[in-house]
Amino acid sequence: MPDTEPEDLLLTAAEIQDVTNRDMPTELAQAIARMATDAVRDYCGWRVAKTATETVTVASRGGHSLFVPSLNIVSIGSVTENGVTIDEPADYDWDESGILYRGGRGHRRWHTGRRAVTVTLTHGYEKCPGGIAQAIASAVARGALVPSGLISETAVGQTRQYGRTGSGAPIDAGFTPEELTRLDSHRLRNNR
């Protein structure tokens, strides 16, 4: 996975320091912000926050509704079906929750097939939702989102060591069930 750009992180290094109420080196806070962003986006199945324009290609079952991987669409730039751009916005409509509706003349349906529809959309929350920030803060406080290369840190005469398994992975890595509950309201469902 390519490096996440600082402006594309769910939380910045400064916000990581704020939500965890911990003074930590900026490099560590940036590494945690990258890990947290990747972990949340992987779990939720979409970008979640920091609004951006992306192009996604999805399969269609041929119905009137088509789900795209987003739960907060801001706008739709273009829609292409089987390589043909749908020029008439009246031929489709969309919902903020990630659903494209096919309609227009003759009450058409989406064509059936893998990679049948390509959508350019602007989506994601402008700021990281509070529940996600709380889940990240809790996971960081437990050391679950500490970069695997870091075993201890020393500052102002104090040393902190983080628990690791034999392979170097953090003990209790990942989010707890309570933290996952905070993420679940922003997670795409598998049955979509």
Regions of the chain with pLDDT less than 70 = 1-7, 89, 104-107, 144, 146-173, 190-192
**Domain extent listing, the chain:** 13-47+130-185, 52-123
pTM for the model? 0.78
Across the chain, the runs of DSSP E, i.e. the strands, are 52-60, 65-67, 73-81, 84-85, 92-95, 99-102, 113-123, 152-155, 158-161
Task: Answer whether 44's CB lies under 8 Å from 188's CB.
Answer: yes
CA distances from 11 to 52, 55, 73, 109, 132 (A): 15, 23, 20, 40, 10
Q: What is the pLDDT of residue 158?
A: 61
